[in-house]
Each structure stands twice: as C-alpha cells, then as structure tokens.
C-alpha cells in the first residue's frame, strides 16, 4: 500500500535529461473491460508521444501480464533510462491522466494520502460494538466487543408485585445492562484505536445507541468524531466501507471550504497567506509554505532558474531569478514537489468558486 515513504522516494527521484512517465488510471473493471482500459492507456501514451518508447512498452507489458486488476485505481511511474519503475494499485480510483516530466507527477498521490488518510468506524448496538480501521479506502484492521445480554425482564404482563423480576425493576435492570455495555464498548474502542493513528471517526447504529456510545468515548476519540450514520450491527464490511467513504467526502468538503475561507480571511487581513501564482511561487522559493492550496486540475507552464526560483514568466532584473532558466511544462507541479520536500502540506480542492477567484492557487504561510 502506498505510504509517506513511497511519496518521499518519488519526490527525491529526478530523471535529469530523461523523462519520467507518470500514469494515473481508473482500473475499475465493473465499469469498463480490461481491453477497453488498455486501449485507453494506449491513447494516453500517444498523447505524450511515448507510444514507441521503452517506458510505454513497460507499462503495456505490466498491464498485460503483471497487474491483477483487483483494485479500481492505479498509479504507474517509469523511467527506463534510469531503470526506475513503480506501480501502486489503490482502492480508490484516479482520474485518467498522464505526464512526461523530469520528475514523477505526484499531486494525485499527495491528495490520496491526505483525503483518504486513516479513519475509524464504530458500529454499536445494545450488546456491544464492532471496530474498523481504514486507510486509503482499504480495511486495515477490525475488532469488537460483546457485553452483557440485554433482555426485557418483564414477567406475567408487567406485574410490579413484590417477588417478581418484572415491571419497573426489569426495565431498570435492562437499562443498567445497556449502560454497562456502552461503557465497556467505550473502553474497548479506546484500546483498539490507541495504536491506530486515525484522523476521523464515524459512528454507526441507531440514534439512541450512537448517543449512548458517544458519551462513553474518550476525549481523544470524541475529538476525531466526523459523522454518524444509521446501520445494522451485522452490516457487511463492504457496505460499511461505502457508507463511510461517502461520509468522508462530506467531511472533507466541509474542511476544504473552511480552509479556503480561512485563506481569504487571512489574506484580507494582510496575515501570513498569499494568493495567486506569482506570490505563491515566491513563498515556495522562500520555503515559507505551511499549506499549499490548489484547484484540482490547475496547470501552468513556467520556468525554473538555477537558484531554484519558479516563475510562470521570464523575469528580468530579479536577484532571485539569476541565470538561464529551464522551461517547465507545469510550474504548479514543481511548486507541489518543492512544498512537500520542505515539509509543507498540499491540499488539492475541486469545485470551489472562491479558490477559482483567487487565481486557483494560494498558501497559508509559516511566517
């Protein structure tokens, strides 16, 4: 499974004079046949003029003989000149795209690591709970707890007579058993997730059971809570995954909207933020980026100077832009790579009109 170490390896690779082919695919065979997908790849390879290259041959050979087609997403990187090859099948599909650049195109994978990072799920009923950990859309671990059996303790039509266990006593004992089970579920949840670095948590069950469990969760898990949903305790895992991925999209949409709103506010107050390509690239050069915020699909040709300065246009009489520049097919991708390499964070946001109005790019700065 793709991880942060894999991303850092891609960031550190440079093909120099040779190009690196970066290919992202939706490989969901429930939507399209293998042969149709392979034809689509050949078309993408022709788009970048790589149809007859060793890299194109390596990609087609992999799809014909090595790829198992069990997952709906695939990221491939090939630079035959340097014997560099990486293949990362993923549980989340990518938008089909290809790049031929001197460094691997990593923006979609950086987005994958951020958007689908570790999250947890707890299903709960009156008897106990089931726990799930997901990362990048895949199940990483599961567990559960079963508490005291809960039964209506009524006797003979709900009599409250002394000597029976029915009536109000039965109801009270049932409620006590439920609360004990919820406390136990809360304790077991804390233990299950203690060594699992989840960023978000979703609770499933009836509204009443979810509310009871929520009261018994640790403060750490309560801080991660991102949503709730109706679910049966015995729901199949694939159904739980689909429901919670939908909730994850909703939670991320809210978070992204808030992030762009913060960017607008900080910029308006002349705080530590920049918007627009020129100012953002200047902040990249100074390694001041805390969070780089980009509209999905944003690209721009540009230049890289020997000093490391990035610019969308040729510059004159600018000290940072000394020397003869190299042309870049995508200066935005260069900014992404530089930001990640210097410990910054990258957010790729789709369909946000406010970000579009800001020039499709901006950043919250460290200082």
Pure H helices in the chain: 4-12, 34-47, 54-65, 107-115, 167-193, 207-215, 219-224, 237-268, 277-285, 331-341, 353-357
Query: What residues pair up with 78 in beta bridges, in sequence order?
Result: 21, 85
The pLDDT > 90 percentage for the chain reads: 84
CA distance 123 to 129: 5
How long, in residues, is the chain? 367
> Is residue 209 within 8 Å of residue 125, measured between CB atoms?
yes
Q: Quick one: pLDDT band at residue 152, thresholds 50, 70, 90?
A: low
Within 13 Å, how many C-alpha atoms sit on residue 78's CB side?
A: 19
Cβ-count burial of 87 within 10 angstroms (0-12 exposed, 13-18 middle, 19+ buried)?
middle
Place of tokens 């832009």: 321
Q: Which two tokens stand for residue 183?
A: 């406390």
Query: What per-residue confidence (pLDDT) applies to 151?
Result: 59
Q: Which two tokens stand for residue 188?
A: 């077991």
Query: What per-residue confidence (pLDDT) applies to 162?
Result: 37
Mean pLDDT in residue range 45-69: 92
Mean pLDDT in residue range 61-90: 96
> Is residue 351 within 8 Å of residue 259, measured between CB atoms?
no
Q: Quick one: pLDDT band at residue 161, thresholds 50, 70, 90?
A: very low
CA distance 174 to 165: 11
Average pLDDT, the chain: 91
pLDDT at 164 over 50: no
Q: Which two tokens stand for residue 341?
A: 């390499």
pLDDT at 153 over 50: no
CA distance 325 to 162: 93
Among the residue ranges 97-106, 141-150, 152-161, 186-195, the one predicted with the least confidence is: 152-161
> Is residue 210 within 8 Å of residue 231, measured between CB atoms?
no
Mean pLDDT in residue range 89-97: 95
> Is residue 189 within 8 Å of residue 204, measured between CB atoms?
no
Q: What is the pLDDT of residues 321-353, one digit of tens each?
A: 889 999 999 999 999 999 999 999 999 999 999
pLDDT at 186 over 60: yes
Q: What is the pLDDT of residues 130-149, one digit of tens each?
A: 999 999 999 999 999 887 77
Q: Which two tokens stand for residue 189?
A: 């949840």
Mean pLDDT in residue range 214-241: 96
Among the residue ranges 9-13, 43-47, 172-176, 207-211, the one predicted with the least confidence is: 172-176
Phi and psi at 244, nearest 5°, equal -80, -30
Q: What is the pTM of this model?
A: 0.84
CA distance 111 to 362: 16
Mean pLDDT in residue range 31-53: 91
Q: What is the pLDDT of residues 258-281, one digit of tens each?
A: 999 999 999 999 999 999 999 999
Mean pLDDT in residue range 289-299: 95
Place of tokens 């944003």: 298
> Is residue 27 within 8 Å of residue 21, measured between CB atoms?
no
Mean pLDDT in residue range 18-43: 95
DSSP 88-128: EEESSPPPPEEEEESS---HHHHHHHHHT--EEEEEE-SSE
Query: What per-residue confidence (pLDDT) applies to 252?
Result: 93
The pLDDT > 70 percentage for the chain reads: 95
Q: Quick one: pLDDT band at residue 163, thresholds 50, 70, 90?
A: very low
Phi and psi at 334, nearest 5°, equal -60, -40
pLDDT at 154 over 50: no
Domains of the chain, start order: 4-105 (3.30.960.10), 119-250 (3.30.420.60), 272-365 (3.30.1330.30)
Mean pLDDT in residue range 154-165: 41
User: What's the DSSP call for residue 16?
Assistant: T
Q: Edge to edge, what strands does the sheet with 128-135 contain?
A: 138-146, 128-135, 119-124, 200-204, 225-229
Mean pLDDT in residue range 198-206: 96
Mean pLDDT in residue range 165-187: 80
């Amino acid at each position: 499974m793709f991880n942060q170490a894999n991303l850092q390896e891609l960031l550190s690779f440079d093909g120099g004079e040779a190009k690196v082919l970066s290919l992202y695919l939706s490989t969901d065979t429930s939507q399209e046949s293998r042969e149709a997908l392979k034809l689509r790849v050949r078309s993408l390879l022709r788009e970048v003029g790589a149809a007859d290259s060793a890299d194109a041959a390596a990609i087609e050979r992999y799809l014909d003989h090595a790829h198992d087609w069990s997952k709906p997403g695939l990221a491939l990187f090939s630079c035959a000149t340097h014997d560099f090859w990486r293949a990362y099948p993923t549980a989340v599909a990518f938008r089909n795209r290809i790049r031929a650049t001197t460094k691997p195109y990593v923006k979609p994978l950086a987005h994958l690591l951020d958007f689908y990072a570790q999250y947890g799920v707890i299903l709960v009923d009156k008897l106990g709970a089931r726990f799930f950990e997901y990362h990048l859309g895949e199940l990483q671990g599961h567990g559960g707890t079963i508490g005291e059996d809960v039964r209506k303790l009524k006797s003979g039509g709900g009599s409250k007579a002394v000597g029976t266990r029915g009536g109000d006593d039965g109801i009270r004992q049932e409620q006590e058993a439920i609360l004990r089970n919820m406390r136990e579920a809360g304790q077991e949840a804390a233990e299950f997730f203690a060594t699992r670095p989840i960023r978000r948590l979703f609770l499933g069950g009836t509204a009443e059971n979810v509310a009871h469990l929520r009261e018994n969760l640790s403060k750490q898990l309560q801080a991660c809570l991102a949503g709730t949903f109706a679910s049966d305790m015995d729901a199949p895992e694939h159904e739980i995954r689909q429901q919670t991925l939908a909730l994850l999209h909703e939670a991320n949409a809210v978070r992204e909207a808030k992030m762009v709103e913060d960017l607008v506010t900080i910029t308006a107050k002349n705080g530590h933020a920049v918007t627009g390509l020129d100012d953002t690239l200047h902040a990249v050069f100074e390694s001041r980026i805390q969070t780089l915020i980009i509209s999905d699909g944003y690209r721009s040709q540009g230049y890289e100077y020997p000093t490391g300065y990035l610019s969308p246009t040729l510059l004159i009489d600018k000290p940072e832009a000394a020397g003869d520049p190299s042309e870049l097919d995508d200066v935005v991708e260069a900014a992404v790579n530089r930001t990640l390499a210097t410990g910054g964070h990258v957010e790729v946001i789709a369909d946000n009109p406010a970000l579009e109005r800001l020039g499709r790019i901006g950043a919250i700065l460290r200082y």
